Amino acid sequence: MTSQAAMNRAGPGELAYTADEMMTVAAARALRDGMTCFVGIGLPSVAANLARATHAPGLVLIYESGTIGAKPTQLPLSIGDGILAETADAVVSVPEIFNYWLQPGRIDVGFLGAAQIDKFGNINTTVIGGDYRGPRVRLPGAGGAPEIAASCREVIVVVRQSSRSFVERVDFVTSVGYGSGPGDRERLGLTGAGPKKIITDLGILEPDPVTLEFALTGVYPGVSAAAAKERTGWDLAVAGEPGIIAGPSPAELDALRSFQALGSRQRSH
Amino acid sequence: MVFVSAQNGSDVAEIVSLADAVKRSIHDGDALAMEGFTHLIPFAAGHEVIRQRRRDLTLIRMTPDLIYDQLIGAGCARKLIFSWGGNPGVGSLHRFRDAVEHAWPSALEIEEHSHAGMANRYVAGASGLPFAVLRGYNGTDLYRLETLGAGHDAPTIRPITCPFTGETLTAVAAIRPDVAVIHAQRADRSGNVQFWGIAGVQKEAVLSSERSVITVEEIVDHLDPRPGAVVLPSWAVSYVAHVPGGAHPSYALDYSVRDNEYYVAWDAVSRDRAAFSRWLDEHVYATGGQEGKGGLGGWVPPDAGGSGGVAPPGVNPGRR
């Protein structure tokens, strides 16, 4: 993984780690042992595999390639690497993974990335700028995300935070979070509960229980709420005194680094 | 496995060369689905389509991947129907982006869906139905584009009311390609085809299409049953071509591994029009259709290994 952030300065007896490593560790911690997790490509896949390698050995990883219960020993570059099929409990077709497994709400948590995300947790992975037919930037598009966002019991988003990617309103709603606010998911017939956490390279955002607008609830060691506000394109609310999230443990860092040393030249987008 | 022979020989798959299979089945203006979900992507067949200079194709694929990046950059496509157009784990498909953002080498019309939508569209096609039903798209701008008529030239997403419960669901239009192309592990000499591992939507793509071409790693006397394998009987297939390594840089489980370094290296080649054009000349047009036998040319991308002429690890086509 390429880190865009400087190494955290380590004091005596402290571990040095990058902001990306902290983010990946925080995302992994959000997954509980025994959960079923529909894993998106990139950062979410790294974090889900880290969780399996550390505190959640019974985590069931499900990829849209139809691999259910994949247990890769090295990081896959794609969602369809051979290691996923070879280690899976079951390999099913793509229509089956979406129709039989995702759609009825059998999967606990959807783990997604984003190119752009707004204060209601709506995700854009389609186009940025211009209009749809003449976009400034053409992104990959929807993939499995719209139905993961709609049908998993809950959703966790892992994305680096910047004022350009954290916007008041996304340019294109590829996957629905809370739409334009309370009541929208119910009105739209979306069966899952929606995004519960946005985990970034600065800290964690969670939806306000009443307004459903994402607010800062936790920051990493050495990160200020002001810095998080600075890197948010909407007027980010801060929940009281945001908690300080513990830095990575030696075991977490070791597991993450050995994964990445073993794995492909994973780049996250 | 024992298959009942078809009475009429013209109804079973013919085993032909890849060049012949493409020549006979894929024509200018066709709707062409080359499927394979990360696994078993029919790259060698894609290169043959480029070599035969097919034009105005409607390319259909859930994940365009490098194979359609190459066809789009080579000027074969008029339209793309897809659901995720990235280089998995690496980033953008630059030829696809250049076509959409700058109409190079020509404008590319797009029709985009989610994976669930595309998968169900193939299921409808394979089932002989005009549409499929799913819970999906509600609240997304993919849906909004359709209702505004701003996205596609013909509607492919519509609300539908369940006749039993009154619930509002989403209908997606069937995909009915003129021709489907997939890669598989094995066929027997009668043209019965078997593949296993990640099976994607290949079965649905073949069964929803008018014609089909299947390239295979191996042609064997008898297909041994394998747990979880998909079998397409000869009478459901048009052409089979023996193309070992024909999925590279994708892979065929139990025959090859995914060449992840190639996918990473493609980023630099595809980013630059001139570099891409050189790649096409040297590694598609100049091979005269011999790729797939000895590999895909041992192509060395610029900047991939640091020194020209030394292949980076993994850019080693056809390895087992």
**Distance of residue B113 Cα from the nearest chain A Cα, in angstroms:** 7
**A76 band by pLDDT with thresholds 50, 70 and 90:** confident
Q: Which of residues 194-253 of A touch B (CB under 8 A)?
A: none
Q: Minimal CA–CA distance to A232: which of A75, A103, A96, A117?
A: A117
The answer to whether A142 contacts B200, with C-beta atoms less than 8 Å apart, is: no
Predicted pLDDT of residue A8 = 59
Distance in Å, alpha carbon of A6 to nearest chain B alpha carbon: 22
In this complex, do B37 and A99 lie within 8 Å of one another by their Cβ atoms? no
Rounded Cα gap, residues A80 and A84, in angstroms = 7
What is residue A86's predicted lDDT score, i.e. its pLDDT?
A: 93
**Tokens describing residue A153:** 């019991």
Q: Do the beta carbons of residue B301 and residue B315 sit within 8 Å?
A: yes
Question: How much is the pLDDT for A12?
Answer: 57
Place of tokens 């997403």: B157
pLDDT, residue A5, reads 45
A2 touches chain B (CB under 8 A): no
Predicted confidence (pLDDT) at residue A6 exceeds the cutoff of 80: no
Q: Best mutation site among B84, B94, B165, B267 for testing chain A: the one with the most A CBs within 10 Å?
A: B84
pLDDT at A51: 97
| A residues 29..48 contacting B (CB < 8 A) | 41-42
Q: Which DSSP state fits B287?
A: G
Q: Is the pLDDT of residue B298 over 70?
A: no
Q: Are B198 and A67 an interchain contact pair (Cβ–Cβ within 8 Å)?
A: yes
Length of chain A (residues): 269
Average pLDDT of the residues in B83-108: 94
d(CA A122, CA A176): 5
Q: Does the pLDDT value for residue B292 go beyond 80?
A: no
Which runs of consecutive H residues, i.e. helices, occur in B234-314?
Answer: 260-271, 273-283
pLDDT at residue number B194? 98
User: Token pair for residue A212?
Assistant: 């459903």
Chain B residues near residue A212 by CB distance under 8 angstroms: none
Across the interface, whether the CB atoms of A85 and B253 are under 8 A apart is answered yes
pLDDT at B291: 56
pLDDT at A110 over 80: yes
Note whether B145 contacts A: Cβ–Cβ < 8 A. Answer: yes
Given pLDDT bands bounded at 50, 70 and 90, which one contains residue B139? Answer: very high
Find the range with the poorest average confidence among A47-56, A62-71, B7-16, B261-270.
Answer: B7-16
B314: pLDDT strictly greater than 90? no
The lowest-confidence range among B4-8, B124-128, B221-225 is B4-8
- Tell whether the model's pLDDT for residue B66 goes beyond 80: yes
B294 or A93, which is more confident?
Answer: A93
Q: Per-residue pLDDT averaged across B258-282, rounded?
A: 96
Q: For residue B281, what are its two tokens? A: 């000349």
pLDDT tier at A240 (50, 70, 90 boundaries)?
A: confident
Q: What pLDDT, on a 0 to 100 scale, did the predictor assign at position B312?
A: 32
Confidence of residue B316 (pLDDT cuts 50, 70, 90): very low
Residue A216 has pLDDT above 50, yes or no: yes
pLDDT of residue A267 exceeding 90, the answer is: no
CA–CA distance, B260 with A139 (Å, rounded to integer): 21
Strand, helix or coil for residue A206 = strand
Q: Which fold has domain B9-112+176-287?
A: Glutaconate Coenzyme A-transferase (3.40.1080)
User: Which of B113, B139, B260 is the closest to A184 by Cβ?
Assistant: B139
Helix A250-262 / helix A19-29 crossing angle, nearest 10 deg: 110
Mean pLDDT across chain A, nearest whole number?
Answer: 91
pLDDT top residue among B228 and B125: B125
Averaged pLDDT for residues A163-192: 97
Q: Are B182 and B175 in contact (CB under 8 A)?
A: no
pLDDT tens per residue across span B178-214:
999 999 999 999 999 999 999 999 999 999 999 999 9
Alpha-carbon gap: A80 to the closest alpha carbon of chain B (Å):
5
Containing A43, the helix (H) or strand (E) segment is helix A43-53
CB pairs under 8 A between A and B: 193
pLDDT at position B293 is 37
Asked if the model's pLDDT at residue B154 lies above 80, the reply is no
Supply the mean pLDDT for chain B: 88
B-chain residue closest to A66, CA distance: B198
Compute the average pLDDT of residues A149-171. 97
B140–A86: do the CB atoms touch at under 8 Å? Answer: no
**Residue A10 reports pLDDT greater than 80:** no
Residue B8 reports pLDDT greater than 50: no
User: Where does CATH 3.40.1080.10 sit in chain B?
Assistant: 9-112+176-287
Nearest-neighbour CA in chain A from B189: distance (Å): 26
| Contact check, Cβ <8 Å, B139/A179 | yes
Reduce the DSSP state of residue B172 to 3 states and report it: strand
Contacts of A173 in chain B (CB under 8 A): 139-141, 144
- Which chain A residue's Cα is nearest to B65? A140
Q: Which of the residues of A are catalytic?
A: 64
* Arithmetic mean of pLDDT, B220-243: 96
**CA-to-CA distance for A79 and A76, rounded, in angstroms?**
7
Is the whole-model pTM more than 0.95? no
The structural domains of chain A, ordered by start, are 19-257 (3.40.1080.10)
Return the pLDDT at B317. Answer: 35
